[in-house]
Structures are given as C-alpha cells and as structure tokens.
Amino acid sequence: MKLAISCDHGGWELKEQILEILQRVENIDVIDYGTMSRDSVDYPDYAREVSEGVAEGTIDRGILICGTGIGMSIVANRYRNIRAALCNDIYTARMSRLHNNANILVLGGRVVGPGLAGEIVKTWLETEFEGGRHQKRLDKIAQLEKTVTGEQ
C-alpha cells in the first residue's frame, strides 16, 4: 500500500508520532509531504498533494492532520473521488472504512492523543470496505459530484 501523510503546524507533533508507528508496519510505503516543523503554515497547501495523489490514484490512501482536523477535511473533500473522514475515535475510523470506503483519514492534532491516534490509524488501515448496500450509496455520491460539476 502506498500511503501519504501531511499536516500543518497544529498536527506536526502527532504526524511525527504516527510516522514512528507506521515505520513498524510492513508493506506500507509512506510518503511524508510535510510540514517538517511547528512553524506556522496554511493547511490548504498541505492537504493538496495528498488529496490530489489519492484522487488521481497515484497514492492508495492518505492521512491529514491539522489542529482540529476540520480544515483538512474541508479541503480534502473538495477533490473528486475523495472521501475524507475526520475520526476522533476507533469506532468512527472503523465505520469510515467499512461503510464509506474513506480513502483519507483526518485527525486533529490538538484533539486526539498519540496513543488513541495510533489505534485509530491501525484500525483504519486494517478495515476493509464492506461493499454491498454501501457501494450503492457511494455511487450516488459519485453521481452527485458529476451533477455539481456539470459533468454527464
């Protein structure tokens, strides 16, 4: 699996802790798009590369982290074919994959501690999409994307 991770200054510390956890997981190629410090940056700039890569299919899944996770969620979900889920607990992480096939996990660096974040990431990576009735709903979302953008 090819996984990309990115954050703003509010998520930098948690990103570094998650990277340590991900280094111990086999069969995951992790690309770190920054930021590389606590210096203030604009979260849209750091959500862009991960969101574009996942939307284009050059990256399998992504993790985005800002202070609350809200800003990164808003930016990521502007991209076609992105289903970014802000998860603050293990249950929502599992359900975001099981029912929604979320391809970007969003975390709040000032909301979730490193221990819980590690469990959220682990659960999110290990949970497979259930398909079935849930695929029909994702198809409806894809159709809405086309309607909103004026595509046929």
Residue located via tokens 């340590």: 20
Q: Collapsing DSSP states into helix, strand and coil, what is residue 105?
A: strand
Is 87 noted as a catalytic residue in this protein? no
134 is catalytic: no
Helix, strand, or coil here: 95? helix
Identified catalytic residue from 7, 9, 66, 87? 66
| Phi and psi at residue 2, to the nearest 5° | -105, 115
The tokens describing 132, both together, are 């079935």
- The rounded Cα 25 to chain-centroid distance in angstroms is 17
Residues recognised as catalytic:
66, 99
